[in-house]
Structure 1
């Protein structure tokens, strides 16, 4: 197929054909089966490189008010909002060695957030902190997570390097029995699950992966004992080393430029290129972001949420790549405010999409000096097919003599790994170090992965019940038959590119549920009829995005090319509208979810 320069005008018919061609090159019949669990198959890929979690302690047999499963931002925010409601004993159980969740595990070189820090970092108003950078580095984010935990005194009861293994409702005491892999068996009146959507590292199922004799690790477990240095660079351990990195998503885009500065040679194994827009990161001051009055951060993040959720705002306070392209997120987010539909809308949407993607492909041409490399780095798909990335250093890395792009589209990835390197087609790449920037099994942690069995009233198994009829909740938080169990995450509520904002709204709601139950001496448990009504709301106006994602190049958004399930997974009228709905419900109808608590 002949190559058309991205800077030349293209008719939409030709562009659709090019997109279809590039998709078919990459689709594999095994779909998501091409990946394997890093934790299950190769435990050393999932081990904690930052602390020794094996230190002994006595198992706990006590009782707390609230147990929170997960110590990322969701769990921390749940704990903080519970404290604001006067809850005394809050125990957060976290398998990492400290608070932070994904920001505890991910400390790879170059790591930054791709959402502006002044809207991404939660509770800035409450902690009085103003981020130093427009896009915060990972360590600043991790320190902020710890700052919130300290402010709300969440450390004393926390259990780190500990995984919850089961939750069992005890009808006699009206509490949950929480069991862990450290032998704990304590009780909690309420349980909040916040196990995250990006917590299970995955590896490609490449034949021979276990035979590699060089050094290897996953980016979420970066081994600085081998590389030396810090997330800022200075990895002297890579001097003279041939390094291969698999994956060019958000992680690879950030790590590769830093690796290029320190390794003898870097081989970048790419299946599908990311779209990489301008980041323009810079240091910021309080004056820059209007941090001169109470509530400044709340106003800023609400403004950002409205814009990227498809709603109007009088002013764009953040003014970055996300807000500039907000209209193109319509197919990316199942929770997006839609007031248009039909052929005219889709035609205008496709034209705007084509213009943006042409702009991004032109950026590649202007940034990468070698035409063949530039062609391989161009993203030939629609904007919402993959989460956009942002970098001012990525493309420049491929102009270095010590960086080679290995395109694996036609071989569907690395074909096999040997003791000494990786094989792609007729070429063998000898490596001293092989790094997997292959991401996570999205949305399948905790309960949905089956690793956290939940037994409710009458011995009912939550996952079994959901397997029969699909997940059923009220607002995504609670389920009939599982009293005082509150879910946080991406199920049946709102979605946004700024997920910490969504999590904080969820934490506020979870704490309000607990406060209402405590004041009324009640259990939190919706009726089956309330679940039915909510599922009907979810389904009524759910957007049909199946066709769009079925045409995308394979990735985790479309189940590796099999199409995105057209199910009611999020509130269909936008995150801002969902948060307003919750607020009204708390003011007017929260009593509907409360049931009398039996005498203990």
Structure 2
């Protein structure tokens, strides 16, 4: 593979002054800190609710549902889909899939902007490829292909049979006598379900910048997750002919910006890119799938590749790196965020220094790539990221940096002004300069880490009327992150008190298999209710707290972003510290040694 990126290992330690680099990182961080933290953003709700409207599927009217199903799965993304598939394989016939969107796909239903692709290799990212009989056409698949795969999973496992799309759950209430959940929705439904699985995700609700005057702008605006092709023309592959005579602005240069800005720069009459913090932009090296390689694959290939990817980036022992991309090239820089796994032959001080030096070499190479690809020195300087590698989600692109060589593209660095100053009827102001534009595209991401259960928009009342938020008043209390005492037959997918990884679909896949196994065992044992004991969840909480990775210092020194609550530096206390591979082993061992013990022969209620 030929790339324009310098080899990290060719940059010697004598070329890097760590003291000067730390000072530069701190200074750049201070330029971007805002006192209101996450309060600088606003929800796409109330007067801004139109930013979250579904532009893809017209609302289909229907009568309220008052029936009963055995399992209700809330969420039609990959977590919900794999759960539905595994439940179907476990023999569950009565399954209702529910989502606010008009079809399956989750974040891939919403994200249809030009250039959208996965940033994890598609062969390990897209679940159930072998079960569906699909090989992705690209190493990093486009959004359309990923969304079509979600639909294919639903069709393969007959999950369209009893769906409730365009529907948001507004309340879950446990009925002790009937041993079932009463489910209310914004469509007037009052249905019942024996088991409820929440997989509502956190990458569906768009986040908007709290720019003063945003409501006064008389031009056109939309969020990237609700792309307006009626205005821009073209499709996800580009060809935005409707923008040929338009002055376009884009706000945001994160993962979405890296993908959409090359298309806007190519097709718009002019483009102004408003940047607060530059992303790292490493080599993507996307390419079509090799047919000969695809034909050589043997049964079980995907699980082997997924497990290998997870092992490499988690710092686990492995003989070969099957993926060999930007993610797996520097696993040492990710392990502190994912597993905390360290080299036992070094002292803590030696490890910290070694990791910092490797980080510095990697970031120096990334900044050198900017100089190689961007012609204008001032623009190149503004595009250089000055922070530690894992302070933000790493970015990859083979087109983004080159876009700033186009004469119609202007980069505006807003860091010294605390972001965009305000919007007027005709443009965007930064400092004392106004940029008149016809259209503003917000590439500002989603409300990350806040599901409906956690935000309170999905109220849950369990045994005795106690609410889940009350039960979690001092922090989540679960067994393995899936279920809580006092809330029988309710299962959660997500990152609370379990494992995490850059390929979160793999984590969701493991979670779905576990939940399906528990529900299947409960059905076989004739148990009416499944919930953990207080003692079991207390012990699990103790394990999570004592093994959690203390990265608060690292995060506090990072440039502000959603990883560190906009600069406030929060420790990772909600994930199982030994990492996703170890957590997978914990679940497998629990199913092997404990599942039958807590379910088989239990009359009425099963405790876990």
TM range (shorter): over 0.9
Is 1:417 matched with 2:429? no
Is 1:464 matched with 2:470? yes
**Residue correspondence of structure 1 range 28-39 to structure 2 within 5 A:** 28-39=34-45
The 8 Å contact of residues 178 and 187 in structure 1, kept in 2 or not, is answered as: yes
Separation in 1, partners of 2:574, 2:291: 38
**Residue correspondence of structure 1 range 204-283 to structure 2 within 5 A:** 204-283=209-288
Q: 1:336 Cα shift?
A: 4.8
Is 1:597 matched with 2:604? yes
The 8 Å contact of residues 74 and 200 in structure 2, kept in 1 or not, is answered as: yes
Is 1:430 matched with 2:430? no
Q: 1:509 Cα shift?
A: 0.4
The 8 Å contact of residues 245 and 437 in structure 1, kept in 2 or not, is answered as: yes
Aligned to 1:140: 145
Moved more, 338-347 or 497-506: 338-347
Separation in 2, partners of 1:168, 1:140: 38
The 8 Å contact of residues 99 and 165 in structure 2, kept in 1 or not, is answered as: yes
Is 1:384 matched with 2:390? yes
The 8 Å contact of residues 550 and 573 in structure 2, kept in 1 or not, is answered as: no
Separation in 1, partners of 2:552, 2:246: 44
* Local SS of the residue matching 1:179: strand
Superimposed CA distance per residue, residues 317-363 of structure 1 (whole angstroms, 9 cap, x where no aligned partner): 10000000111112333x45445461111010000000000000000
* Local SS of the residue matching 1:161: coil
Q: 1:47 Cα shift?
A: 0.2
**Residue correspondence of structure 1 range 529-540 to structure 2 within 5 A:** 529-540=535-546
Moved more, 535-544 or 580-589: 535-544
Aligned to 2:330: 325
Superimposed CA distance per residue, residues 44-86 of structure 1 (whole angstroms, 9 cap, x where no aligned partner): 1000000112x31111111101001111111111100100100
**Residue correspondence of structure 1 range 22-171 to structure 2 within 5 A:** 22-53=28-59, 55-171=60-176
Q: 1:407 Cα shift?
A: 0.3
Separation in 2, partners of 1:281, 1:503: 25
The 8 Å contact of residues 337 and 549 in structure 2, kept in 1 or not, is answered as: no
Q: 1:41 Cα shift?
A: 4.3
The 8 Å contact of residues 224 and 441 in structure 2, kept in 1 or not, is answered as: yes
Aligned to 1:510: 515
Separation in 2, partners of 1:291, 1:466: 50
Q: 1:290 Cα shift?
A: 7.0
Separation in 2, partners of 1:465, 1:40: 29
Aligned to 1:575: 580
Is 1:554 matched with 2:560? yes
The 8 Å contact of residues 290 and 296 in structure 1, kept in 2 or not, is answered as: no
Superimposed CA distance per residue, residues 102-158 of structure 1 (whole angstroms, 9 cap, x where no aligned partner): 000000110010000000000012111111100000011000000000000000111
Equivalent in 181, 193, 205 of residue 186 of structure 2: 181
Q: 1:445 Cα shift?
A: 2.1
Equivalent in 487, 494, 507 of residue 492 of structure 2: 487
Superimposed CA distance per residue, residues 556-587 of structure 1 (whole angstroms, 9 cap, x where no aligned partner): 001101112x2521111111111111011011
Separation in 2, partners of 1:291, 1:450: 49
TM-score by length of 1: 0.96
Q: 1:310 Cα shift?
A: 1.3
The 8 Å contact of residues 200 and 445 in structure 1, kept in 2 or not, is answered as: no
Q: CA RMSD in A?
A: 1.5
Aligned to 1:406: 412
Separation in 2, partners of 1:247, 1:264: 19
Aligned to 2:590: 585
Q: 1:293 Cα shift?
A: 1.2
The 8 Å contact of residues 130 and 286 in structure 1, kept in 2 or not, is answered as: no
The 8 Å contact of residues 514 and 587 in structure 2, kept in 1 or not, is answered as: yes
Equivalent in 299, 308, 312 of residue 303 of structure 1: 308
Separation in 2, partners of 1:377, 1:578: 38
Equivalent in 348, 351, 354 of residue 354 of structure 2: 348
The 8 Å contact of residues 331 and 548 in structure 1, kept in 2 or not, is answered as: no
> Structure 2 regions of 5+ residues with no counterpart?
1-7
Separation in 2, partners of 1:306, 1:115: 15
Moved more, 531-540 or 93-102: 531-540
Moved more, 249-258 or 512-521: 512-521
Superimposed CA distance per residue, residues 189-232 of structure 1 (whole angstroms, 9 cap, x where no aligned partner): 10000011212211111100111100000001001011010011
Aligned to 2:4: none
Separation in 2, partners of 1:216, 1:382: 33
Equivalent in 8, 12, 24 of residue 18 of structure 1: 24
TM-score by length of 2: 0.95
Aligned to 1:3: none
Is 1:446 matched with 2:452? yes
The 8 Å contact of residues 66 and 188 in structure 1, kept in 2 or not, is answered as: yes
